Amino acid sequence: MVQGDDLARIIAGCKSGDAQCFSRVVDMYSSRCYGYFYRSTGNKDISDELLSELFVKLVEKIGSYKGGSFESWLFRIASNIFHDHLRSKQRRRKLLETRQEQAESEITEPRQSDGELVDRLQSQIGRLDKETRELIMLRYYSQLSFKEIAHMRSEPIGTTLAKMHRGLKKLRLLMEG
């Protein structure tokens, strides 16, 4: 795990357009970000797309990073990308409904790609509502504190804790059931 000063140097390199520094950021965060996308969407193909989009956004927006927790900043972008994905999916769903096509199954969650095995945890996560699912994954993969997560979601920390507790309790029951 890269620490403080090294990370600051890497980010400074990214800001000056150094491809090697971007490459290191990809190596450092791709696994966690991918886990967040995968557990939130339940779909490998979509996670691939979202991860690519995240790093493209990173390149475009690195100039606007003004210090503070880089992980918090990166996962805020990841969270925005995930919510954009949900919104576009909602639009697609409405479009499909109006056309009365039977393509609904294409976008129901959890979705598995051809030949992909969905683990038991993923299938139970898929039974949680989207918001709770995303909150749990954000906490686990971003490794941010509850204070940072609450700030990111623009809600009181007590609300974040209560939602998280309800979600985890339900997930635990589902896994034990």
Partner 1 sequence: MDGHKPENLRELLGRFFDAGQVESCLDDFQEAERLLRDHPAPEPDDMLIANIKAEIAMRLPAVRVETFRRRLWEMAGIAAAVAVLALVGVRLSQSPSRQTGYYASLIPTAIWESTNITSDDADLALFTTEIEQIKDEMLGLESGRDAGDGEGSVAELEMELIQISSDFWKG
Binding site for partner 1 (CB under 8 A): 1, 17, 19, 22-23, 26-27, 30-32, 34-35, 38-39, 44, 47-48, 51-52, 55-56, 59-60, 63, 69, 119-122, 136, 140-141, 143-148, 157-158, 161-162, 164-165, 168-169, 171-172, 175
Q: Which is nearer to partner 1, 90 or 113 (CB)?
A: 113
CA distance linking residue 152 with residue 154, whole number of Å? 5
Q: How far is the CB of 58 from partner 1 (least distance, A)?
A: 8
Q: Which is nearer to partner 1, 45 or 84 (CB)?
A: 45
Q: How far is the CB of 41 from partner 1 (least distance, A)?
A: 11
Return the number of other C-beta atoms located less than 10 Å from residue 132's C-beta: 17
CA distance linking residue 156 with residue 159, whole number of Å? 5
Q: Which is nearer to partner 1, 103 or 161 (CB)?
A: 161
Q: Which is nearer to partner 1, 35 or 96 (CB)?
A: 35
Q: How far is the CB of 132 from partner 1 (least distance, A)?
A: 11
Spatial contact of 32 and 142, defined as CB atoms under 8 Å apart: yes
Q: How far is the CB of 52 from partner 1 (least distance, A)?
A: 5
DSSP label at 114? T
DSSP label at 70? H
Burial 144-161 (b: 16+ CB within 10 A, else e): beeebbbebbeeeeeebe
Q: Which is nearer to partner 1, 55 or 89 (CB)?
A: 55
Spatial contact of 160 and 131, defined as CB atoms under 8 Å apart: no
CA distance linking residue 33 with residue 100, whole number of Å? 35
Phi, psi (degrees; rounded to nearest 5) at 132: -65, -40
DSSP label at 160? H
Q: Which is nearer to partner 1, 94 or 140 (CB)?
A: 140
Q: How far is the CB of 12 from partner 1 (least distance, A)?
A: 13
Q: How far is the CB of 51 from partner 1 (least distance, A)?
A: 6
